[in-house]
Amino acid sequence: MTVRSTARMIALPDSDARRGQVRWAPIRSLWTIGMTGSALVLAPLYMTPGAVALWLMTSAVTLCLGHSIGLHRLLIHRSFTAPLWLERVLVYLGTLVGMAGPLGMVRLHDTRDWAQRQVACHDLHAHRAPLLRDAWWQMHCRLDLTHPPRFEPEARLCDDRFLMWLERNWMAQQLPWALLFFWIGGMPWLVWGVPVRVAIGVTGHWLVGHVTHRRGPQGWTVDDVPVQGHDLPAAALITFGEAWHGNHHAWPDSARLGIEPGQHDPGWWVLIALRRMGLVHDLKEPAMLAPREGLHRVVKQGDALG
């Protein structure tokens, strides 16, 4: 069986994406339980219009500018270029989502991407488990592969002192904002500005990943891989384009995720605005990229008849 490498995941002779042990990750799990539990208990007690507005605004900024644009499209895939100061601002905002530090996010993403490019992979990386088990695995556990690939991040990641500082202190980044929100708006702003935002962001990220790796419409398929990407059109706007996951599997280095007519991609709209302001450059689109090996267009029945 051929074991494929990716840019940062180097396959060793015995690397295997199938065999491994799912183990509880206590720090990650307690963080998630703490944020989710606080949100469930406190949010109804401290709901005010201002607090809900703060949650909506901070969620939009951290999930769109931070996670989708800063961490995913820029730090992980390098689908566009930005000056270092802006890259650091975007990555910082992505860290505030509360899933992991920047290097941790790169490793989690690239390990999953590597596994999904093999002929077969573990159920955790395929989101193949039932809903509640997958939720436990993805948000509270880690998969220790028996024979993993070697993770080799580029120097611009592992030698960046700012990124390493964020990696060591990613949970603590919530504290200054918690204090600021409490000072301005008391407990309602604190509760909705930190634990509610983090809990919904982390849970929503898992849920979209669970669905888009299992079912839904497809525009593309890739040969000889254990997991296909699917789209979730209903979540396109609230995920800032990340729900076009079938497109992302087909064109992973594209800065544009909603590539078909009518596919709304707010993250792309923001990038276009930033390009007009001269702040970002070299935005990659599918027409500029080489197709993945084994990529095929899904021909729908109406298209075939037409």
* Mean pLDDT (whole number) for 96-100: 98
pLDDT bin (cut points 50, 70, 90) of residue 237 is very high
Query: From CA 111, how far away is CA 121, in angstroms rounded?
Result: 11
Query: pLDDT confidence of 3, banded at 50, 70, 90?
Result: confident
Percent of all residues in the chain with a pLDDT value above 90, rounded to a whole number: 95
Is pLDDT at 178 greater than 70 in this prediction? yes
Average pLDDT, the chain: 96
Confidence of residue 1 (pLDDT cuts 50, 70, 90): low
Q: How far apart are CA 288 and CA 17, in angstroms?
A: 30
| Global pTM value | 0.95
Q: What was the pLDDT predicted at 304? A: 41
DSSP state of 127: T
Residue 288, pLDDT > 60, answer yes
| pLDDT digits 0-9 by tens, 179-233 | 999 999 999 999 999 999 999 999 999 999 999 999 999 999 999 999 999 999 9
7-41 pLDDT, tens digit per residue, is: 999 999 999 999 999 999 999 999 999 999 999 99
| pLDDT value at 303 more than 80 | no
Q: 229, exposed or middle or buried, with CB in 10 Å at 0-12, 13-18, 19+?
A: buried
Residue 152 confidence (pLDDT) above 50:
yes
CA separation for the pair 225, 218 (Å, rounded):
15
